[in-house]
Amino acid sequence: MSVVTVGETMAALAPDHVGPLRYTRTMGLSVAGSESTVAIGVRRLGHPAAWIGRIGDDELGALVEMRLRGEGIEVYARRDPDAPTGLMLKERRAAGVRRVHYYRRDSAGSRLSAADLPDGVVESAEVLHVSGITFALGDSAAETARVAIARARDSGVTVSLDLNHRRGLWTDADAVAALDPLLSEVDVLFASADEARLFASGTAADLATALRSKGPGTVVVTLGAEGAVSASAEGALRVPAVPVTEIDPVGAGDSFAAGYLSGLLRGDPEDARLRRATAVAAIAVSTHGDWEGLPTAAELDTVDGRDIT
Ligand code: CKP
Ligand code: MG
C-alpha cells in the first residue's frame, strides 16, 4: 500500500445555489473527510491507497463505504451499531463566502479506537497520512492517530501530518497543546499560513523554517492563490499557484497534500513535488466538491487547456 490514511469521513450535503442555508431547496449528497480526500487524490494519480475509519451502521455509512470503494480505496471501517455516521453541511452563504456546519459530535467516526487499526496495514504502507482533525474529535480518536503514528515510525513508514485546525471542533490552545508534541514524530508537515501562525510568526518562509526546527524533515506552508513555501533539506523553496477560477476552496489543502505525496512516492525532488501539489490543488478548487474534481495523472497535464506541468 502506498498511502494509508486514518480519520473521519462524513456524509456531506451541499446546496445547488448561493444563499443562506435556511432558504435552500435542493442539496447534493456526497461524502467529505480530509484524510479520505487525500486517499482519493493519490489513488487517482495511480498510487494504491487505504482509509481506516469508523462509520455508523446506517445509510450514510453505506454511502461513505460505497463512494470510497468506488474510488478504488481499500476501506477498513468498522460499522458502529451505537453511533451515527457524521454529517457536514456546506453553505454557500454569498458569492465566494462558504461555511461548513458539522453534525459529528459523538459520531461513529469520532469513536474511532486503536482496536480499529487492522494489523499490518499501517506497518506495510509507504506513507501514513493523518490530520489534526482526528486529534480534535475526542480522546479515543486522538489516541488512535497517535498509535498509528507510533506503529508507522516503528516500521520505517513516512509519517505525513496536515495540521488542519478546525475552530469549530476545539480551541487554538487545545490544538497547540495536542499537536506541538507530535511535530517531532512526523516527516512531512502541511500547514496553511494561519495554522502555522499558531506555532510561529513571520513570513511564510519563517513559518516553515520555525516549524521545521520542531522536527519534521519537510514543512510545507500553503498560501492559497499565492502558492506554497517549503523548508526541507533542500533549503527554502517557493512555488506560485496555478492561476484558476476558484469554484470551491474546501479540500484545497487535501488536494495539495495528495499531489505532494504522489510526487514523494515517485521520488520527485522537492520543487517538482510542490509543482505537482499546486497543480492538483488548482484543478480541485476549480470544480465543485471537496474531492470530485481531483485529477487523474493524465488530466494533470492540463488546467483550462493550459499545460501546467
Ligand atoms: O483543509 P481542507 O479545505 O483541504 O479540508 C477540507 C476537509 O475533513 C473537508 O473535506 C471536511 O470534511 C474536513 O476538512 C473537515 O472535517 O473539516
Ligand atoms: Mg487544510
Provide ipTM, 2 decimals: 0.97
Among 64, 69, 127, 47, residue whose Cα is nearest residue 296:
47
At residue 307, does pLDDT exceed 80?
A: no
Q: Is 115 strand, coil or helix? A: helix
Task: Measure the CA–CA gap between 215 and 235, rounded to whole angstroms.
Answer: 15
Ligand 1 contacts CB of residue 222 (under 6 A): no
Per-residue pLDDT at 304: 45
Provide CB contacts within 8 A for 227, sequence distance 6+.
238, 239, 240, 241, 278
| CA 291 to ligand 1: nearest atom | 10
Please tell me the number of the ligand nearest to residue 250's CA: 1
Give the pLDDT mean for 3-7: 98
309 or 77, higher pLDDT: 77
Residue 188's region, left for phi above 0, alpha for psi from -120 to 50, else beta, is: beta
Please tell me the number of the ligand nearest to residue 33's CA: 1
Strands 158-162 and 74-80: unpaired
Per-residue pLDDT at 105: 97
Cell 473521519, residue located: 8
163 or 305, higher pLDDT: 163
pLDDT tens figures, 31-80: 999 999 999 999 999 999 999 999 999 999 999 999 999 999 999 999 99
Per-residue pLDDT at 268: 97
Ligand 1 contacts CB of residue 253 (under 6 A): yes
Residues with a known catalytic role:
254
Strands 306-307 and 188-192: unpaired
Spatial contact of 13 and 89, defined as CB atoms under 8 Å apart: yes
Mutate which of 30, 88, 250 for ligand 1 pocket (most atoms within 8 A of beta carbon): 250
Question: How much of the chain exceeds pLDDT 90, in percent?
Answer: 89
Provide CB contacts within 8 A for 65, sequence distance 6+.
55, 75, 77
Is pTM, for the whole model, over 0.90? yes
Give the pLDDT mean for 136-141: 98
Per-residue pLDDT at 248: 84
Ligand 1 contacts CB of residue 132 (under 6 A): no
Task: Measure the CA–CA gap between 58 and 168, rounded to whole angstroms.
Answer: 25
| CA 104 to ligand 1: nearest atom | 16
Among 3, 35, 173, residue whose Cα is nearest residue 112:
35
**In b/e form, how buried is each residue of 34-52, taking b as 16+ CB within 10 angstroms?**
bbbbbbbbbbbbebbbbbb
Output the CA 32–ligand 1 centroid distance in Å. Answer: 7
Average pLDDT of the chain is: 95
Per-residue pLDDT at 303: 57
Give the pLDDT mean for 83-110: 94
pLDDT tens figures, 232-284: 998 999 999 999 888 888 899 999 999 999 999 999 999 999 999 999 999 99
At residue 22, does pLDDT exceed 70?
A: yes
